[in-house]
Structure 1
Amino acid sequence: MDMTRRGNYDSGEDFVLEYGELRFTFNERDFAERCEQAALKLGFVGGRLEDHELEDLVNLAVNGEIQDPASALGEHVNDCWPELVGPSDRSLVHWLRRLVFRSAWLDQRVKEGELDVRFDADAQTFAYVQPERDGEPVELAPEPSWGRVAYSRR
């Protein structure tokens, strides 16, 4: 039995996500970029966000709501709230946090040598692979889409 203790992801002390014994800490830029990438992956946004939009998205991920929107994105979240909230495993906030955590977890596994990253030129995507299993790709659980209530600039 492998008793190796995995390390915790750390890029700063501005934001903290904990799950079980894992404690991941993020600097502001890293956390914001991961939130933006999570929103893109979920189909909630269609492209890069402006600073004030990103501020609202980070606020949503951290606080679970946006009380004082700084942008049209924040207003959109509040207008669509009944469609974005739901049982914890189906809410936008849950999935934003989950994808931020998952991305840091995967990056930490790469840093520790448990995973490698490979580029698939045909698909134009990156994939995580397991070097100890002859480069077998890591299959990630699929995430839901929020495309039906996606934010777009007016």
Structure 2
Amino acid sequence: MKCPRCGSMDNRVIESRTLASGESIRRRRECAGCGFRFTSYERIVEKQLMIVKNSQRREPFSREKLERGIHRALEKRNISQREIEEIVNDLEDKASLHGGSDHEIPSSLIGEMVLEKLYHVDRVAYVRFASVYRNFSDLEEFVREIENFTKEID
């Protein structure tokens, strides 16, 4: 492993620790050249899950992009970062399951899974996400969406 400080390939592992139910390993390393200590992570790499966009273009699944969208919807809501991470973990697991043997999932299915999750977590976040995901163009669409779930509550 290349030292991030001096670029030397000569280093040793000081400590190894298993993380996340054995799915990854954290290693503390020390560079023999400059003495710098750094951390590396090792995990099994499976075939990349691909997102099929409406235009039929494919792009790799991005956990960060999913988390960013959920974070925006939940901004200034009383939801902790830990809860957001649990939501993202759950959605990532579901997406992988739906990906099947070809490791592809439509972006529309991910959007619907996010909406379903947010509906049960925070209704304001649900409407925020829906307004972007469904591309609301006017106030009437907001009102219709809110009326839809207020009917379900009654």
Q: TM-score, normalised by structure 2?
A: 0.29
- The structure showing larger relative contact order (alpha-carbon pairs under 8 Å, at least 6 residues apart) is 1
More strand by share: 2
Q: TM-score, normalised by structure 1?
A: 0.29
